[in-house]
Amino acid sequence: MQDKQPQPGALNRLLSSILALAQTRLELAGIELAEEKARLFSLLFLSFIALLFGTIALTTLTALIVTVLWDTHRWQTLAALASVYSVAALFCLCAIRAKLRKAAAPFEATLAEFRKDHEAFGKTP
């Protein structure tokens, strides 16, 4: 019996194909990472600006309400505003938690491609 040895050219082509496949997958991962980073920085910046202006507006509104009601219901007004702000903060925290739980896995497309590759290489001819 004669053993069938792969031809050196065939082995080189196979190795070259595997390396090209790995390079493509790594490039896809790099692109997804760059997109995710840009999206995250954009969201963080806009969130910071919104938080800044929201805080200024809320502080001004609080001062206005307390000033208007200072002579009649000063402590009740402060207690009511503190309660409203606390409930709003709790609502926001719950919404953030829900969004984090629903978020898609990072590098989802890259992982899907790796799964396809694994299935393709795992099958025997």
pLDDT in tens, 13-40: 888 888 888 888 888 888 888 888 898 9
Residue 68's domain comprises: 13-120
Is the model's pTM score more than 0.75?
Answer: no
Residue 87, pLDDT score: 93
- C-alpha 13/C-alpha 8 separation (Å) is 9
Is 114 part of a structural domain of the chain? yes
For the chain, which residues score pLDDT lower than 50? 124-125
Is 56 part of a structural domain of the chain? yes
CB burial readout 38-64, b (16+ within 10 A) else e: eeeeeeeeeeeeeeeeeeeeeeeebee
Residue 60, pLDDT score: 92
Query: How many domains does the structure of the chain reveal?
Result: 1
Residue 113, pLDDT score: 78
Is 59 part of a structural domain of the chain? yes
Is 26 part of a structural domain of the chain? yes
Is 6 part of a structural domain of the chain? no
